Structure 1
Amino acid sequence: MFWKKISLPLLALACITTANATEKPNVVLFLVDDMGWMDTSAYGSEYYETPNMERLAKQSMRFTDAYAVPLCSPCRASILSGQYTSRHGVTSASGHQPPAEEDTSPYPAKASPNSQFIYPKSKNYLDPEIVTIAEVLKGAGYRTAHLGKWHLGLMPQHWPETQGFETTWHAAPDPGPPSYFSPYGVSPEGNPTSKNRVGNITDGPDGEYITDRLTDEAIKFVKSHKDEPFFLNLWQYGVHGPWGHKEEYTKYFSEKEDPRGEQANPIMASMLKSVDDSLGRLLDTLDELKLTENTLFIFYSDNGGNTHSNTPNSKQDNLIKPGHPKYPQLRDWRKWAGPLPPTNNAPLREGKGRIYEGGQRVPLMVRWPGHIEPGSESDTIVGPIDLYPTILDAVGLEKPEGHIVDGLSILPVLEQKSDLDRDTLFTWFPHLIPAVSVRSGDWKLIQRWEPHSIYTEVRELYNLKDDIGETNNLASEMPEKVAELENLITGFIADTKPFEPKPNPDYRKPGTNDKPLTMERIEAELKARMCQYQLKDGALSITITGHSPFLGTARVRMPGPISVEMKVKGPTGEAHVDWKTVEQKDFPENQSAQYTIPDKAGFQNISFELPTQANTATVRLYLPANKGAGYEIKSLKFTNTTGLEQTWDFTK
């Protein structure tokens, strides 16, 4: 099913006409930063209160299977170009970084020896040669405005003024706002740096909230051009860090509980409420000026909700201490939100920066009275590449000659005239946990170039109709489906021609170490308790001194199950290996794997398995408690099913 008819019958919809039907429609793109699929009551949240988003949903077609990109800059570049990230080259949230010098290699000079591949760098700006949707509309007589976050280029030659926008209100660098409260501290000229924001954002009254001011600027633009066709590109700073919020809203939400038990961050709720207020004021303005009927209004987000920032185990808590410029913000976060991350995307898996559904499935609502049935819903698979051709289709313009558009117009879906002539969508994301994914019908395949310590499978296959939370990887059970979707990815790469990861010549397989296995290194990596050891004649010679002897190590960090192989000589006896995982503070009782040293002369090869699925943090290899006895170990090896390995070869 591609849509549901929820309110007006289609026959009645066909009879709707407007006085402005022959005029060029206005276009408004209302883009929220870091807003997840479940971050609004219009999509099922029972904690966040967003009445204006609900109001818009009742007037729009609401998409259940709309995608962005896991990070902001790539999605924004795809919106303005209609191209996949693999084609336009902006693949990471790097739009606040200096542009690379011309003819610089897209690959770093070196990569970590722990990585099998050298991954390409992202382009840090939207290429001026790309014909943006704003340039097309401006050329057709539209008045164009970009207001808010840009994040598609640090230097003036890459700012929105050079990409088809006449009216602008922004500052660089801008992964987030210069400040959520006035004075904003933006200079009108100079070199943009993290300590010197440059742009045309001017201060308002002390304490003015930037979301409110951004709305003021949007309303001013609409009123100034109410008698002309306009394109308003309103890209909100909320709900991105540094998480400035109105305390009166925050206090209200701090006293509220989520009936679902999933979302509980009052700062996020407060910021979403402010964005919702902004939306309501803009919708009211369009109504008051009688522009609603002739305005294509698109509500969207640039990536999934943030589920990682500000948690107690994040780098922030280790680095941000009293005296650090960000300490007041973190202290404020702890006051209101405690240890919580910004949001929770459940039932979707994970969030921003990850290729799972929580990182890229987002809200999308589109309103155009007389063309789109109010309160309708679609499960068509759509993405940021589709906005460009949809807008052109709606305003009656052809795509520019020579400009490649990867997306398709979803206007036939919006008007319920036909299904989209496509059921696949790709995400190219060679960063963080590098991967590429394809959504095809109900199926989704994630393909990685190499395993990661946490994400150990290089192929993950999910049926999203049955498993929206991506909990049951079917790749090993359905190799034919994997092959089918891999062929789609191969064709996608051949078509869009991205810089692909290339083999790392300095790669060193995990567990190997070019450094000699000296006593200094052994003592750093293997801690002896109730035993003593020395390196002698190509073996680790161990003398038992207590009743519970073991060698402990924190070097075996990998998800299980883990195979243990040991070449050992010594008196027969029973022993075991204990472990604790990264989530466990202590060694649990009975979390142990038994092994036996046989009653045989010479060195024996012993192998057994640690039956764990979780990531190990510390491992203890116990030896038989034969006080005064001696044991010799020639090698000790731990491996898992993905090839991660930790080896000590004492013969070298």
Structure 2
Amino acid sequence: MKALWIAIALATAVFSQLEAREPADKPNIIFILLDDLGKEWLSCYGGENIKTPNIDRLAKSGMQFHNAYSMPQCTPSRACFMTGQYPFRNGWVNHWDAPRWGHGYFDWTKNPSVARSMKSAGYATGVAGKWQLNDFRVHPDAMVKHGFDAFCMWTGAEGSEEKGHMQISTQRYWDPYIHTKDGSRTYMGKFGPDIYNQFVIDFIGANKEKPFFIYYPMALPHGPLVHTPLKPGAKTKLEKHVAMVEYTDHLLGKIVEKLEQEKIRKNTIIVWTCDNGTSGGISNQMNGRMVRGGKAKTTENGVNTPFIVSCPGLVPSDKQSEALIDFADMHQTFVEFAGGKMEAGYTYDGVSQKDVFLGKAEKSSRDWILGMGSHPAKLTEQGVENVFYFRDRVIRNENYKLFIGPDRKPQKLIDLSKDMAEENNLLNDPEYKGVCEALIAQIEKFPMKDQDPRYERLQLVGWEKVSKAPSQIHKKGHPDNPGGSEKTTQKESKISKKNKTQ
């Protein structure tokens, strides 16, 4: 009997140790990415005329960051997150709707994937919401190839010769057109965000006994602006926008509630952020000043994204952080939490922010963060290419921000500690010479030419956009064509013919 009690005691002790280290031992990770929302629309960041109680509670329960950079538009931000590479390296500098325009797509054979890295570390992987980087008709299993075990995705607007199909596939909200392992179809009378959110909740329930990684790129609150189930009477543009933002808060509350019901909240890291600033036609008061949406801009309202990390018992609570972090860091950070390895054969631009998230380091190991990319890419006879040879960008440290032009030369230096409106150019002020030189020195580290999207070219189906534009020479800043003229000159024709033979 004594031996039995000793065995029970030992088992209890071991169980207690396992339970004590559970939160740090392969924690679950949920990366929630909203679409088109700046800090000015969140009350925890000082946004007025809005109620976001669940987001506020998430921030209070964890760390709220003030210097986290996304890219200024959808595709560059999402590809940066997935690859752990800056746009100049992964090629997705410009926006491109693969299902709408065809040709280019996010090729799993030529790009690293955070989902594949997490899967190789023993994680169940799921994704729900907006993707738009692949055409699911061409690659119905694209999400699996990218490393996701399960998926529930809005297809994106699918270009088609079939009359009316694009109108059907554009629907991401009411009567949404959604792709799962069972194929793509319309869910009549349903609100898309409810379907994506329920998928996340169901995935949590099905995988609660093992570590899981969920990428949740919400469709909200990107246009078209619509009423929501909670505010069916929203009619004006502003009323609908507010309703959609508040619905993201409602959906977050349901996810947190599910984690608490399953008793895994303390073992789940939630990273809540946005892909870029709010659409430019929407403004709001934040901390007493009017802030206009900065989507597609490299000003702070376009790239300095709201960023919250929460995991009670693991991540410090009620903490404000000025640490420098950006989207390129998330791949490496999550892999380190998972105890895994990055995919071999690639160069990565991120650094792990694990110690920052855990409160072990006040500052990150970064000296600077970067923002670049926006607007549609250019289709040429060789496929999808970026519009610039070297895209303009911004690089910043804790207080200062340098704007760099497509000629690789500095354009403007801003002291963000004093000038949040980014109006006072200090570039030629001798007092800031040292600061300016330190940031300018980083320009030399960038490749001379931005990479174009890398993908295996596909046989065209028939509905895609068609272009006879010569490859490369169209680019603004191209050494042979600095003006970026798109006229077909004799020189361009020669280049075109040469490209056809390669």
TM-score by length of 1: 0.58
Amino acid in the other structure paired with 2:276:
N
Alignment of 1:450-599 (within 5 A): 459-478=411-430, 480=433, 481-493=435-447, 498=451, 501-503=477-479, 505=481, 507=483
Tell me, yes or no, if the aligned pair for 2:284 and 2:292 is still in contact at 8 Å: no
- State the alpha-carbon separation in 2 of the partners of residues 297 and 188 from structure 1: 24
1:233 is displaced (CA, Å) by 1.0
1:287 aligns with 2:264: no
Aligned to 1:39: 41
1:168 aligns with 2:120: no
State the Cα deviation string for residues 178-209 of structure 1 (Å, max 9, x = none). 324443245889xxxxxxxxx845444x4321
Q: Which of structures 1 and 2 has the bigger CA Rg?
A: 1
Out of 401, 407, 422, which is 1:444 matched to? 401
Out of 384, 387, 395, which is 2:330 matched to? 387
User: 1:253/1:283 Cα in 2 relative to 1: closer, same or farther (>3 Å)?
Assistant: farther
User: 1:286/1:506 Cα in 2 relative to 1: closer, same or farther (>3 Å)?
Assistant: closer
Tell me, yes or no, if the aligned pair for 2:105 and 2:134 is still in contact at 8 Å: yes
Aligned to 2:171: 179
Alignment of 1:83-94 (within 5 A): 83-94=85-96
User: 1:188/1:487 Cα in 2 relative to 1: closer, same or farther (>3 Å)?
Assistant: closer
Aligned to 1:542: none
- State the alpha-carbon separation in 1 of the partners of residues 397 and 199 from structure 2: 41
Q: Which moved more, 1:479-488 or 1:215-224?
A: 479-488
- State the alpha-carbon separation in 2 of the partners of residues 408 and 477 from structure 1: 32
- State the alpha-carbon separation in 2 of the partners of residues 172 and 136 from structure 1: 24
1:26 is displaced (CA, Å) by 1.0
- State the alpha-carbon separation in 1 of the partners of residues 38 and 420 from structure 2: 15
User: 1:213/1:445 Cα in 2 relative to 1: closer, same or farther (>3 Å)?
Assistant: same
State the Cα deviation string for residues 306-355 of structure 1 (Å, max 9, x = none). 113xxxxxxxxxxxxxxxxxxxxxxxxxxxxxxxx376775657500111
- State the alpha-carbon separation in 1 of the partners of residues 317 and 133 from structure 2: 34
Out of 252, 273, 291, which is 1:300 matched to? 273
- State the alpha-carbon separation in 1 of the partners of residues 107 and 296 from structure 2: 20
Aligned to 1:125: 106
1:416 is displaced (CA, Å) by 2.2
Tell me, yes or no, if the aligned pair for 2:47 and 2:285 is still in contact at 8 Å: no
Amino acid in the other structure paired with 2:123:
Y
Q: Which moved more, 1:271-280 or 1:500-509?
A: 500-509
1:153 is displaced (CA, Å) by 2.2
Tell me, yes or no, if the aligned pair for 2:227 and 2:233 is still in contact at 8 Å: no
- State the alpha-carbon separation in 1 of the partners of residues 484 and 110 from structure 2: 40
Aligned to 2:297: 354
SS at 1:92 equivalent: coil
Tell me, yes or no, if the aligned pair for 2:23 and 2:268 is still in contact at 8 Å: no
Q: Which moved more, 1:157-166 or 1:38-47?
A: 157-166
1:427 aligns with 2:376: no
Amino acid in the other structure paired with 2:74:
C
Aligned to 1:224: 206
Tell me, yes or no, if the aligned pair for 1:437 and 1:446 is still in contact at 8 Å: yes
Out of 51, 54, 59, which is 2:53 matched to? 51
Amino acid in the other structure paired with 1:170:
M
SS at 1:462 equivalent: strand
Tell me, yes or no, if the aligned pair for 1:305 and 1:343 is still in contact at 8 Å: no
Tell me, yes or no, if the aligned pair for 2:176 and 2:191 is still in contact at 8 Å: no
User: 1:460/1:22 Cα in 2 relative to 1: closer, same or farther (>3 Å)?
Assistant: closer
1:57 is displaced (CA, Å) by 0.6
- State the alpha-carbon separation in 2 of the partners of residues 295 and 51 from structure 1: 20
User: 1:185/1:24 Cα in 2 relative to 1: closer, same or farther (>3 Å)?
Assistant: closer
- State the alpha-carbon separation in 1 of the partners of residues 132 and 179 from structure 2: 17
- State the alpha-carbon separation in 2 of the partners of residues 483 and 430 from structure 1: 27
Amino acid in the other structure paired with 1:148:
G
- State the alpha-carbon separation in 2 of the partners of residues 427 and 409 from structure 1: 18
User: 1:413/1:184 Cα in 2 relative to 1: closer, same or farther (>3 Å)?
Assistant: closer
1:361 is displaced (CA, Å) by 1.0
- State the alpha-carbon separation in 2 of the partners of residues 508 and 42 from structure 1: 44
Aligned to 1:27: 29
Out of 193, 199, 223, which is 1:211 matched to? 193
Amino acid in the other structure paired with 2:478:
K
State the Cα deviation string for residues 239-291 of structure 1 (Å, max 9, x = none). 1111222275275797xxxxxxxxx9221110011111110000000000001
1:267 aligns with 2:224: no
User: 1:218/1:21 Cα in 2 relative to 1: closer, same or farther (>3 Å)?
Assistant: closer
- State the alpha-carbon separation in 2 of the partners of residues 49 and 253 from structure 1: 18
User: 1:24/1:124 Cα in 2 relative to 1: closer, same or farther (>3 Å)?
Assistant: same
SS at 1:207 equivalent: coil
- State the alpha-carbon separation in 2 of the partners of residues 358 and 182 from structure 1: 29
Aligned to 1:536: none
- State the alpha-carbon separation in 1 of the partners of residues 85 and 484 from structure 2: 36
Tell me, yes or no, if the aligned pair for 1:170 and 1:200 is still in contact at 8 Å: no
Aligned to 2:339: 396
Q: Percent identity?
A: 25
User: Relative CO higher for 1 or 2, CA cutoff 8 Å, sep ≥ 6?
Assistant: 2
| Aligned-pair Cα RMSD in Å | 3.3
Aligned to 1:239: 221
SS at 1:31 equivalent: strand
Aligned to 2:120: 139
Alignment of 1:40-119 (within 5 A): 40-96=42-98, 97-98=100-101, 100=103
Tell me, yes or no, if the aligned pair for 2:395 and 2:401 is still in contact at 8 Å: yes
Q: Which moved more, 1:364-373 or 1:497-506?
A: 497-506
- The answer to which structure has the higher strand fraction is 1
Tell me, yes or no, if the aligned pair for 1:307 and 1:343 is still in contact at 8 Å: no
User: 1:411/1:489 Cα in 2 relative to 1: closer, same or farther (>3 Å)?
Assistant: same
State the Cα deviation string for residues 62-118 of structure 1 (Å, max 9, x = none). 101111000011111111111111100011221335454xxxxxxxxxxxxxxxxxx
Tell me, yes or no, if the aligned pair for 1:350 and 1:356 is still in contact at 8 Å: no
User: 1:373/1:477 Cα in 2 relative to 1: closer, same or farther (>3 Å)?
Assistant: same
Gaps in structure 2 of 5+ consecutive residues: 1-16, 159-166, 377-387, 453-474, 486-502
- State the alpha-carbon separation in 1 of the partners of residues 424 and 213 from structure 2: 43
Amino acid in the other structure paired with 1:487:
A
SS at 1:249 equivalent: coil
Tell me, yes or no, if the aligned pair for 1:21 and 1:294 is still in contact at 8 Å: yes
Tell me, yes or no, if the aligned pair for 2:283 and 2:290 is still in contact at 8 Å: no
Gaps in structure 1 of 5+ consecutive residues: 1-14, 101-122, 190-198, 255-263, 309-340, 452-456, 510-652
SS at 1:296 equivalent: strand
Amino acid in the other structure paired with 1:301:
C
Tell me, yes or no, if the aligned pair for 2:30 and 2:213 is still in contact at 8 Å: yes
- State the alpha-carbon separation in 2 of the partners of residues 153 and 99 from structure 1: 9
Tell me, yes or no, if the aligned pair for 1:40 and 1:49 is still in contact at 8 Å: yes
SS at 2:148 equivalent: coil
Q: Which moved more, 1:402-411 or 1:65-74?
A: 402-411
SS at 2:59 equivalent: helix
TM-score by length of 2: 0.75
